[in-house]
Amino acid sequence: MYSADFRLDNTSIGVGKGFDVKAMRAIVRLRKMDKADYQEQEYMIDLYKHALGMLEENAPAEDDMPPEGDAF
């Protein structure tokens, strides 16, 4: 893994170029996730957004749910 100094340096560089630290950390967290876990999380977020009226499109169908154990 990377040292804290390395991560701090990269975060500082990103901030200096106008990137949002919170967004950068979210992207790093997503990249560390297993593909199946990521797809399941995206499905659940879309499902909740639809339930709250935050999506204009149709609700995700159960067929859209990624199969269990689907990996890269």
The pLDDT tens digits for 20-71 are 888 988 888 888 999 999 999 999 999 999 999 998 766 556 666 666 655 4
- CB of 21 within 8 A of CB of 15? yes
Q: Count of alpha carbons within 13 Å of 67, Cβ hemisphere only?
A: 4
The residue ranges of every structural domain in the chain are: 1-32, 34-72
For the question of whether the overall pTM of this predicted structure is more than 0.75, the answer is no
